[in-house]
Every structure is written in C-alpha cells, then in structure tokens.
Amino acid sequence: MTLQKKDKTGALIGLAAAAAFLILVIVLENTLAPTSQLFVVLKKGAVYSLVAVSMNLLNGFTGLFSLGQAGFMLLGAYTYAILTVPVAVKDQVYYLFGGSAVKFSLPDLFGGLDTPVGLILGVILAILLGGCVAALFAWLIGLPVLRLKSDYLAIATLGFAEILRAIFQWQALGPVTNGANMITQIPTFNNFNITGPDGKVVLYLSAFFPLLIATLCIIVIVMLINSSYGRAFKAIREDEIAAEAMGINLPRHKMLSFCISSFFAGVGGALFAMFANNAQAKVYTSTMTYEILLIVVIGGIGSISGSCLATFLYVACSEWWLRFLDNKMVFTSTMQPKRIAFIVIFAVVVIGGAFLLIRRERKGPGRMWAEILTWIVALLLLGWLGYFIVTGSLNVPLMGTGFRMVVFSVVIMIVVLFFRQGIMGDKEFTDLFLRGKKAIGKEGAK
Amino acid sequence: MEFFISTLLFGISVGGQYALIAIGYTMVYGILRLINFAHGDVFMVAGLMGIYLNTFLAAYLPPALVIPVMLLLVLVLTVALGFCIERVAYKPLRTAPRMSVMISAIGVSYLLQNSATYITGGQPMIYPSIPFLSDTITVAGTSIKWVVILTPFLVVALVILLTQLINHTKVGMAMRSVAKDFETSQLMGIKINSVISTTFIIGSALAAVGSMLYFTTYSSVVPTVGSMPGLKAFVAAVFGGIGSIPGAVIGAFLIGICENFVKILPFEGATTFVDAFTFALLIIILVFKPTGLFGEKATDKV
C-alpha cells in the first residue's frame, strides 16, 4: 500500500469518525436533559481540544517549546468579547467607565443577535478576528523571542502571556477592556439553540456549535501537518541544522508555526469566552497553560487524536466523573450495595496496585526496601479495610470539598509515571484501523 | 529619601528570599536539565508545615521551645519532602524524554496545591510570628521588621557556604561533574542518584529557609502562594543564566529591587504591572543575551 493511499484512507476514516461524533452529539443533546454534566464536558472539551491541538502543532510537531498559550487565548477571548457585546447593553457592562470606546458590535452590524444571519456571521467573524489578533501579536512577539532556544523560549513566551494579562487588567484601558472587571453579556453557546415562537427550545445546538468549530479547525491543522509545510515543521523538530541544510528557511517556518498555533489558540480563547459566558483576564494564568501542556503530553506529543482523546478524558475526570468525591458520603446500612461496591473496589485497587508495583520492582533492579515498603503500605490499607468491615462503619473517610482534585492529581501522576509516551504515543487513532490492512498489504507483496 | 531607603531595603529582602528559591531551581536545572515546577509548591508546603507544627507543638512543649523546634522540624520535613518527590516522581523517568519529566513536575505541583487546598479548605492561614524576626525597628523614619534587614545577610552567608560546598568538597565536585556531563560522570564511578538527591535536599532546605523568611514578612499562606514567588525565582534563575548559582542570586536581588521600585512608580495602576515588569525585564535581557547574564559557557553550572 503506498503512503499516499494510506494517508487517504486514514483521512477518510478520520473524517467519518468526526462526522459520526458530531451527529451523535446533536442526537444526545436533544434526547438527554440539558442540565447533564456531559454537555459541560463536551463544550469545555471542544475548547480545550482545539487549544491542545494548537499547542501540539507548536510543541509536538515543530519542537518549539512555548508556554504562551494562555496569553493568546486571552487575546482571542477579549477580541471576541469586545466585538460582540450588544450595543444596547454596552453602557451597562462598562458602567464603571461610562460606556465603551468601541461603539459598534459585530452581530448588531448584521442585524442583531436575534436574527440567524446576525448571530452566525457576527459571532464567527468575531471568533476569526480573535484568532487574527492573537496571530498578529504572535508575529510581533515572535520577532524577538523565536531566536531563543528551548527553555529560554518557554520562559519568554510565558512572560509575554503574563505581561498581556497585566495589560488587560490595567484600569487605564478600561473603556476598551473593562479594566479588571469581566466583560459580560456576550453571545454564548446557548444563543445557538433554536427556539420556537413560544420561546421554548426546539433544537439544542449549544454543544454542537463549539464542537463543529473545533473540528473544522483541527481538520485545517491536520491538513497543514500533512502538507509540505508540516513536513518542514517535523524536520525542524528532528534536527534544526539538518533541516536548514536541506533548504528549509528556519526563521520563516518557525514564525509560521508560531503564528498559526497562536491563531488557533486565539480561536480557542474566543470559544472559551463563550463557554465561560464572560471574558476575564485573571482566568488566563500560567496554570491554564500548564493544564494544556499536561493534556498534550498525556495524549502523546505529536499525536492529534491523542490530544483530543486526552482532553475529553481530562475534562470529564475533573468536571464530571470524580465529582462525587467532593461530597461527604454516609452509607445507610452495612449491607447497602454501594458500601459493598466501595469495599470491593477499594480491595481491588489496593491489591492490584501493590501487585503491579511489586512486579515492576522485580523486573527492574531488585530493591528490597521498595518491595517491603509496598507490602507495608498495602497491608496497612487492607488492615484498615478489615477494620472498616468488622466495625460496620458507615462513614466513608476523607471525602469532602477538594478531595476530587487530590484524587485527580494522583490519577494524573499515575498516568505520567506509567505511560511515558502518553496515551497514544505519536500514533494517530486512524493508524489502529490501518495496521491490519498494512499487514495484509505486506503479505500480498511477498 | 526615606521612602527610597525603605523601598530599597524591602527590595533587597524580597530579592534575598527569591534567591533562596532560585538556587533550588538553578541547581536542579544544572544537573537534570529539568524545570522543577514543583519547587514553588515545596516552598508553600514548608509554610503550611510551619503553621500546623506550631499549633501542634504548642500543646506539648514549653512556649520558649515551640518556635525553634518548629523551625527545625520544618527544615527536616521539607528536605524529606524534596527527597521523596525526586525519588517518586523524577527518578523513574530518568531515561524518559525530557518533556515527560517536566510534566511529572507539573503533576507534583498540582498534587501539592490540591492537597493543600483540601487540607486547609482553601482558607488563607496565618504564619506564626517568630520572636525577634517579627519585631519592628525604625530605620530612616519607617518601621520595618527585623527580618527585612537580616534576610540579605543570611542569604549571602548561605550562598558563600554553598559555593564553598560546591567548590571544595567531594560532593560538590561530583555535582559539578554531573552538571558538565551526566553519562561520563556515571562512567567515572560517580553515584548519580545520590548526587541528584543531595541537590534536591539542598534546594529544599534553602526553600524551607526562604519560606520562613518570606512568610514572616507576608504572613498569609494560601495554596497558590508558591506559584508567583516560584515563577519569579525561576525568572531570576533564567535571568542570571540558568545553571549558574551566582547568576541566580544576582538575578533574584535585581528582580526583588526592581519590583519594589515599580510598585511606587507614580502612575495609576502601577501595582498591576509589578509581575509584568519582571517578565519584561527578563525578555529584554534574553533578547540581548540569549542565555542570560552569566550564560552557560561563562560559568560552571551546578
């Protein structure tokens, strides 16, 4: 099977999967209750996956270690918010500064938020402009800093993100950025739900919209990576000097990758503002960048589908699946199924974890103390479980506000320590389908 | 003029505290080529330990002994924490790609912050006042705490001690060698793991001392309190050329002083730009000297 043919099949499978996913989202959205946590995960996941893929383009495919993602998101979010606050509520939003310096609003130019044209054109134009502003700033920032190497580049871009955050909180720019206050009343994902004449929602599209935008953007990025530019980026990642010797213009390609990545980060920022219902500078901290870097690495550096998968797992874990850990839990009786399930899961996790750790120790350099330590900890935990069963205690210990994030960070540490290459390594999920075919192709050639 | 002197004193003191954290960053970077993102949080945990140990010890010990024992225990426990972090989170990834180790560091930082939020309930905690250090004195018309005056001297003393250790002991020689070339030193029979552990122990101990000084000056401890000083200390380390200890110390003092002068600049909203200014300074330096003031080639990196 030739490389191009394989690429084509892979692309088709990818497209089909994306389309099927989008259709599934529409169906789910109109069958499940709109309050389900699933939709928060889908919306936030859409935003984060776009930003993660844009970061992967830069860090994973071009090998430029940049930590400026939150700054570019901030630019996108603010551009979007400033351009879309309806004219009618501007005085209310900017009441501290006596109205906004920007006297127009994009959706209003096309007929207002209530008309489909005004909404779609206005919002999409604002999102794209958000991306463009981010790309423009990336170009300006890139001129001095792209000459720096690895960690120096990282800290310089991180610094620019922090500077941007300070500038947007500056009171003197209040008439434009609303100072340290957030810009509210902007069109959000919910504006895309189609309502009937009686004000009731006929068709829910609020999760579909961000996913559609994110999917389209990711398709563009994938196409870019598979083009000659993408090959040049990868060459730069592998070896800058060799790439230069092959005639790749280093500054130009680095700048291109940096600007494109920032463009999509800006688009992601605009979507994030829609998700959060506001634009607020203090949200876009370096912590946000670390979070996205974490997602990129957990997904696998240099794997687009890995980034997407990791984003949804990450967001679902932090926002949804582990949420029950934040509430105190008391069982009603000793034989309640939930209590039995808790005991079984606890025992399985402790025994399984200890077994895996000990096996790992025995495979590697046999260190006695590590094995003994594992034994002691495991036996202590099991001892506690025995105590829990015998006394018929009904209180689950430790659970309470904040415990979710502790468990979540432990899960992340486990993933980081045991899956060094990330979930997908540098493979794409379409490779999974193609592996069987490739084997057949090879046999055929024999 | 009085205002100028007190600002300068505060700047030097903050700079000294940054310097203590920055040394930890720069030493780890010199040896492992790892930005130890968890270092700022180790600093925060040291602060929290102080608070909890103080209340715990007050119940068992005579009042005069509480603070000294607390300080000693904080030092020991922080060192233990730094050692454990290295063993659990970084050592298994020794052969892994550089990015994985950095992510592990970010993961540890997450874990420490989230655990701190869980334990404290997210409420700001107040650091106990240390007798003598917390007492105020009037210098040039403004009253300032003793800690502000003593910090720079303590820092300079510690740094001299550290440079002696690195330049004139066997461990120090091993550290310099590992920083120069990881694999060759291993071939020369240097126990890499113990050298790395020593580095983390020294870094954590300095962070613990830094936390005592910092939280005596600014007494409120919240789970995210470590991130900004941590980031600034890292900036200081980059500023001076990451991997170089004198560079990190000079960078930290410069940043501390500049930051305090930006705070009093006479234009509206100057305080918003304190952090931004630090980064702007860093970028300007990097544009002209891409490897920092004392770049890798000019100095030994440990």
Could you say which of A144, A406, A420 has the minimum Cβ distance to residue B93? A420
Average pLDDT over residues A146-164: 88
DSSP classification of residue B60: T
Rounded to the nearest angstrom, the minimum Cα separation between A89 and chain B is 27
Is the CB of A400 less than 8 angstroms away from the CB of B231? no
According to the model, what pLDDT value does residue A99 have?
Answer: 78
Residues of B in contact with A160 (CB under 8 A): 279, 283
Average pLDDT over residues A165-180: 86
Is the CB of A147 less than 8 angstroms away from the CB of B227? no
Average pLDDT over residues A290-303: 90
Q: Is B124 left (phi over 0), alpha (psi -120 to 50) or beta?
A: beta
Q: Is residue A8's pLDDT more than 70?
A: yes
Q: Is residue A72's pLDDT more than 80?
A: yes
pLDDT by residue (tens digit) across B81-112? 999 999 889 988 888 888 888 889 999 999 99
Structure tokens at B66: 């509480």
For chain A, the average pLDDT equals 85
According to the model, what pLDDT value does residue A80 have?
Answer: 93
Give the predicted TM-score (pTM) of the model. 0.88
Is the CB of A406 less than 8 angstroms away from the CB of B115? yes
pLDDT less than 50: residues of chain B: 298-302
Interface of A with B in 164-183 (CB under 8 A): 165-167, 169-172, 180
Q: Is residue A365's pLDDT more than 80?
A: no
In the block, tokens 């009171």 appear at: A171
CA neighbours closer than 13 Å in the CB half-sphere of residue B258: 19
Which is higher by pLDDT, A206 or A232? A232
pLDDT by residue (tens digit) across A392-405? 777 777 777 788 88
Average pLDDT over residues A150-179: 88
Could you say which of B103, B231, B282 has the minimum Cβ distance to residue A416? B103
Could you say which of A169, A287, A410 has the minimum Cβ distance to residue B111? A410
Is the CB of A162 less than 8 angstroms away from the CB of B273? no
According to the model, what pLDDT value does residue A93 have?
Answer: 86
**CA-based nearest residue in chain A for residue B233:** A155
Hey, where are the domains in chain B?
13-288
Distance of CA A181 to the CA centre of its chain: 25
pLDDT by residue (tens digit) across B186-236? 899 999 999 999 999 999 999 999 999 999 888 889 888 888 888 888 888
According to the model, what pLDDT value does residue A6 have?
Answer: 63
**CA-based nearest residue in chain B for residue A296:** B103
Distance CA B263, CA B271 (A): 5
Which class in CATH covers the domain with range B13-288?
mainly alpha
Residues of A in contact with B92 (CB under 8 A): 417
Query: With an 8 Å Cβ cutoff, is A314 touching chain B?
Result: no
Q: Is A65 exposed, middle or buried (0-12, 13-18, 19+ CB in 10 A)?
A: buried
- Does an H or E element contain B137, and which? strand B136-139
Residues of B in contact with A412 (CB under 8 A): 107, 110-111
Beta carbons of A186 and A81 less than 8 angstroms apart: yes
| Interface TM-score (ipTM) > 0.90 | no
Phi/psi for B139 (5° steps) reads -120, 125
Phi/psi for B46 (5° steps) reads -60, -40
Average pLDDT over residues A353-370: 75
Q: Is residue A300's pLDDT more than 80?
A: yes
Residue A435: pLDDT band (50, 70, 90) is low
Could you say which of A149, A170, A420 has the minimum Cβ distance to residue B100? A420
